[in-house]
Amino acid sequence: MYVYNITTNIEETSEQDWLQWMQNTHIPEMLETGKFLSAKMCKVLVKEDMGGVTYSVQYTVETKEALEAFYSEDSAILKNKMNARYAGKFVFFETEMKMIDKQFSAKN
């Protein structure tokens, strides 16, 4: 299992619109590619010197091959949609991670 993480810093003036768009449009479109099993969105609770608000979206993917297929088939299209809507209002970076262990509390 792998995690494809996208950390985005969005200008405060665009934050609410971006959040709504992410939750109602972008994340569902990512999941509709059929490459990802789930998505989790988190707000990063560190104040950035550069300003803005930072979020992390983590997409779980079964295989490295599925992630590579996403890069070659879907990534550019989905990134272009975000750039068209929020050009100059965000910065982001991507991280790939391999899941080593997953545990749950007995309370869950």
As for how many domains the chain has, the answer is: 1
> In which domain, by residue range, is 33 found?
2-98
Q: In the structure encoding, which two tokens stand for residue 30, read together?
A: 């990512």
pLDDT tens-digit map of 13-60:
999 999 999 999 999 999 999 999 999 999 999 888 889 999 999 999
Residue 76 has a pLDDT of 93
Where residue 43 sits, what CATH number does that domain have? 3.30.70.100
Core vs surface per residue 58-88: b (16+ CB within 10 A) or e: bbbbeeeebbebbeeebbeeeeeebeeebee
Tokens 């959040």 — which residue?
A: 19
Please report which confidence band the pLDDT of residue 80 belongs to, taking 50, 70 and 90 as the band edges. Answer: very high
> Is residue 89 assigned to a domain?
yes
> Is residue 106 assigned to a domain?
no
> Is residue 39 assigned to a domain?
yes
Cβ atoms of 8 and 94 closer than 8 Å: no
Residue 107 has a pLDDT of 79
Cβ atoms of 97 and 48 closer than 8 Å: no
